[in-house]
Amino acid sequence: RRQPSVRDGPSATSTAAKFQFVDLAGSEKVKLSGAEGEQLSQAININHGLFVLGKAITALSEGSAHVPFRESKLTRILQNS
């Protein structure tokens, strides 16, 4: 977003940006980890979030009309980045 800067005169512009750091946990190999119960649920959610993030990045890089931001909590959070 560009806004006029009073300090630099009426024709000057400045740029604002948003930067987010996200700790992307590694992919969980459910069969090898032996996870059960809550840990299994978390591993499934991590894998799903990373899968959808990959789909969203691919869609954005290809200029797709549809980007699957609503398919996971992670992509909803990162949607405006």
55: left (phi over 0), alpha (psi -120 to 50) or beta: alpha
Q: Is the pTM of this model over 0.85?
A: no
What average pLDDT values come out for the chain (81 residues) when binned by 10 residues?
57 76 71 83 86 93 93 88 76
List, in sequence order, the alpha helices (H) in 1-81.
Answer: 30-33, 37-61, 73-78
**pLDDT of the residue at 58:** 94
Pairing, β 13-15 against β 2-4: antiparallel
List, in sequence order, every residue forming a beta bridge with 2; answer none if it has no partner: 15
